[in-house]
Structure 1
Amino acid sequence: MENTHILSLHQVSKHYGPIQALKEVSFDVPAGSVFGVLGPNGSGKTTLLGIVMDVLKANAGSFKWFGQEPHADLRKRIGTLLETPNFYHYYSGMRNLQISAQIKGRGQDDIERVLRLAGLWERRDSKFSTFSLGMKQRLAIASALLGKPEVLLLDEPTNGLDPAGIAEIRDLIRQLGEQGTTVIMASHLLDEVEKVCTHVAILKKGVLLTAGHVDEVLSNEDMIEISAADLAQLENVLNALPNIKSIRRHNGSFQIVFSGSQSAEQVNRHCFEQGVTLNYLAVRRKSLEARFIELTN
């Protein structure tokens, strides 16, 4: 059975003279995930993508694709968009993809599929020069998807786009993930990772701070907000709950942060068993931004 990790890094390090770009970075990318490599500019994201694509050589450590040592045939299973794509402005989207397929030596019979996937089929005969920024980036992703790669590698896919273009690319990445393509994307935008990624690795100055499922990275920061008709009775019941880190009253409800794991279902059941019926319950997840600032400070 093939490894369920699409990509595994083990103690990968890279330096440029005295500058340490990556320091002993290790993490696994699960199959079918949308995996965000998150960090501010200069954190080593692009260096890391360059290493796993064999464009750069690591000074130490190793990595495996699909449980195997890297070799040339594996490249066919990976679609990449690591820099600004070069398309012919005076050719149509369709013609540009035909040229891309010729250069890659694969995907000529795949052009209609990727154009439809990228939402560009209706504009297939329009010149590239008439495309919006978002459409140009969607064509670049369509080109990377020629030949049905199992993995898509993207470096800052929404860089330089207007808000409409950013929304288009995020929707496309989510759609690809839902269809089973593993997407690995580098981003310095916390909001982007929070909205489209299932997993995240956070880098700071070449050091891995944390990696895992987005919900796990944030799990100890959940806040549950609840209310009931009798707030005094509710407060007494809440004080008996284990693992409470803090509790505060806010606009006719209570906001509770737990030091350990506590599901909304468990809190609801506890209150009900103590004779309190809740009329409001919501889980408020601390944003990745707040968590990221805590981690990187």
Structure 2
Amino acid sequence: MSAFLFFLLTDITSNSDAIIQKMVVVWGRTESFSSCVAQPDTWILCVETCFKTESCVMAVLDNTETCYTCAFNESMPNVQQTMKEDKVKVAFKVKVDESLVDKCPAGENPPTFDGVMAEGDASTTTPDGKIQNYTIAYTGTGWKFLVFSMARCLSECFFYRRPTIDWCLTLGLTIDANISYSQTSPLCQKYNLEFSGVASADELKGIVYQIKYYKAQESLPSLNVFVDAQRTTECQATPTTEKCMSIEGFNTVDKSVQNLDGYQFMTDASAGATIGKQCMVMVGDGVNDGKFDFVE
């Protein structure tokens, strides 16, 4: 059995595409606290916690002045509209236009200002990340949620966010057949995938987890994983120069890996060059799991 590391491209993002959201506070009462967690903080700090928590949709203050943060779920409770005298509040997390970055939106019956449905995003960027969007509609006596949810990745993949791109990362395994480094990228392309490097400590941790899982599943004593990095012809002759010890010393498909900061080598980035070992692998021998070495 051989293994190679690849990623499935799912979504491209950039700083200019960033979602702008605000917390909009209304007099209201949620019909259920089933997805809510009581917080020890003041109302203001509780609302801030919700704002900073990806999966949080709203913060709720009850009549005992206890604040709750409420996470996205597929059956979000309705919120009843109340009066100031009831002293209960709800802060909805909703998207706003770029023009309102430094301003408060205005209109009747917020967050559905002047009858326009509000939208929100509670998507998560953890390895089991989910796309979680919702709209909020005014009913005349309060607000109801319409929700949409889906996993960012297939069940065998982990989601990761790099500075300019989102993707799903997993191991590709060939059962009862060995493959060479040169076969990995074409094999990925055959299934509309791409060969990948490792961009962060979080990605490394996730890959090591998968290596251990597959070793246990297949009863393997060790499992080396091809990583997207093959030493250039120039650096095969001069492997210890500064350039050749950096990402510039390797031919790669995955151009979003900008450096080797996340790579811990068994020796160093020049290892094996003089004896024909030019292709990078991640080691999974039970002792050095997650370290990098080179093979032919």
Do these two structures clear the TM 0.5 threshold for a shared fold by scoring above it?
no
Relative to the length of structure 1, the TM-score reads 0.24
Higher helix share: 1
- Kindly name which structure, 1 or 2, has the bigger radius of gyration based on alpha carbons: 2
Higher strand share: 2
